[in-house]
A and B are shown apart, each in its own frame.
Chain A
Amino acid sequence: MIAQSKFPKRVFRFLRGPCAEAPRWREHAAMFDRAHLLVQMFYVLSLFKFYSAARGFWPMPPVETMDLLWPLWWLEYAGTQAGAFILSNLFIVAGVGGIIFWRYLPMRILVSVALLQHAAHSSSFGAINHGFHEWFWISVCLWFLPNGSYDTLRVSRAARVQFLTAIAAAAGLILLFYSLSGLWKCSTAFLQLVTGEFGGFSPYAMTKTVVTRAMWTNSDPLWGGLVINWPLLGWPMYVGLYYVELVAIFIIFRPVLLRAWGIILILFHIGTFTFLDIIFPDHVLINAMFFFLTPIATRNPDWRAMAAALPGLGIPVRMIMGWSANPGRAARVPA
């Protein structure tokens, strides 16, 4: 039984590293209030997405011209006219129902179903659009919110922590995505480095990536000229990005770094726009909501504590400078 196993606890302890401090129980009420607002924001923004997309189904191209993904298998039987009608109405019901009835699990599941349909539709034209994946998976994490009214949940200590756990899990899943991305990049670059090939750790790696992308789509990235003309400028940025992505999953267990990582990841997506001409608007929004505005982050952390809590890099900081990764109660600003 996992519940009785020490395995997850050991994994969590490893990921938490030097950040042993947990918020006091009395802080949970204020954290719950902010988490509650965050969830409401999520469903309001889902409504915005549904509303924006609902009209886009008209006219829907013939099914034969689409490369349908499995969630849309039913379109082959329903046809495009009926399909567009069903999808538009599903979006209206899920969007409006989501902001009113999100406290009920069936409604949260319905929102996820609609988001999955949305993601599948936008990805059924030959290329998968990954902008919607995170939104869908966050909605899945929110299935695990405890059901109940605001007043019922707020007076129960267990309910508050259950609520916060679901919020933390959503943020953790997003960080897992970044870590997976970093893992593939770093492992490939490491193998290339070992075999003496050109790879992700090479000084010109960012320049070649930027130029290749610009050429594939004949684009002129806003800041592309910087690394094309001065390729070595891109080296620290690229290696830094590898680090930020690879260790991202550790950050969910180190609340002192959560808000900083939110900003860093937003800057990363600003970089994908300015250097690669690729935008990730959903990801920027999600990073702002679930990291920068998250209730589980340490508020106003000490910068030395942040440096000491850095995965890997924090070890020499703690050893040489003697700084602690735990900011201490005094550094917290009571909500």
Chain B
Amino acid sequence: MKKYTLEGLNFRKNAFFLLFLAYSLVASMGMSFHERKEVFPVFSWSLFTYVWENAWGYEVDIVRVDDQVFDPPKNFYELGHIFSFAGARDPGIIKAASDVVSAREHDPDRLDDLRAVIEDRYLAGPSRVDYNIVFVVFEPLERWHTGRLAGKIIEKVEMASYSTGDRK
């Protein structure tokens, strides 16, 4: 009996056709209905899909690091000399902050775990960090030209306020 046949080729073609179809369906469903926007590892590849006149999203403002109090609070990414992830311009904390806000409303059981991701990973280092998760709306070019992170913001709403407590 021949080991390699054209039937084997047809099987592969059909399998790949179904794989592509199934992937597209699951990715679309995940993007629409899953809280992570993805049924891992089937990603929809929806990246930079939305372009708006005004940008909006979550940011993390640092209120206090150890004994140093920031008034007004400083954006996490302005403190690259304190937090290594800010220095590396790692965007992970933005998604983590969004997950925390979402968990507060929809899945309180996961809140502590998600807070731990922020506090033990992105805010690791200092013995105490107080921080706010804020929702901001801004016109990108205007904010950029008026001082970047400290520039003009159209709207800022505090969504949550936490402290790591004394960790040492």
Contact = CB atoms under 8 A, between A and B. Distances in A.
A215 interface: yes
A104 interface: no
Contact of B16 (A146, A169, A181, A212): A169
B23 A176 contact: yes
Instruction: Assign chain A's interface to a size class.
Output: 35 or more
B12 to A, nearest CB: 5
A169 B51 contact: no
B124 to A, nearest CB: 9
B51 A65 contact: no
Interface string B51-64: 11101010100000
B58 to A, nearest CB: 10
A217 B51 contact: no
A9 to B, nearest CB: 9
Q: Which of A62, A116, A169, A215 has the most CB of B within 10 A?
A: A215
A120 B39 CA distance: 12
Interface stretch (B65-73, B126-134, B141-149, B155-163): B141-149
Contacts of A65: 116-117, 120-121
A218 B144 CA distance: 10
Interface stretch (A84-92, A125-133, A289-297, A308-316): A125-133
Contact of A185 (B48, B80, B113): B48
B101 interface: no
B22 to A, nearest CB: 11
Nearest to B139: A208
A158 B5 contact: yes
B144 A214 contact: yes
A167 to B, nearest CB: 11
Given A126-B93, A169-B12, A8 B120 contact: no
Contacts of A184: 31, 44-46, 49
A72 B90 CA distance: 23
Contacts of A208: 51-53, 55, 140-141
Contact of B140 (A141, A153, A215): A215
B55 A162 contact: no
B19 A128 contact: no
A216 interface: yes
Contact of A156 (B3, B36, B78, B113): B3
B165 interface: no
Interface of A: 2-3, 8, 11, 61-62, 64-67, 69-71, 116, 119-120, 123, 125-128, 130, 132-133, 136-137, 140-141, 144, 146, 148, 152-153, 156, 158-159, 161-162, 165-166, 169, 172-173, 176-178, 180-181, 184-185, 188-189, 192, 197-200, 202, 204-205, 207-209, 211-212, 214-219, 228, 277
Given A119-B40, A165-B9, 7 more contacts: A70-B40, A156-B3, A162-B12, A178-B45, A198-B51, A215-B148, A215-B149
27 contacts: A66-B113, A71-B40, A119-B40, A125-B117, A126-B122, A127-B94, A128-B36, A144-B16, A146-B4, A156-B3, A173-B20, A177-B45, A180-B24, A184-B44, A199-B51, A207-B141, A208-B51, A208-B140, A209-B48, A209-B51, A215-B140, A216-B91, A217-B91, A218-B75, A218-B148, A219-B89, A277-B89
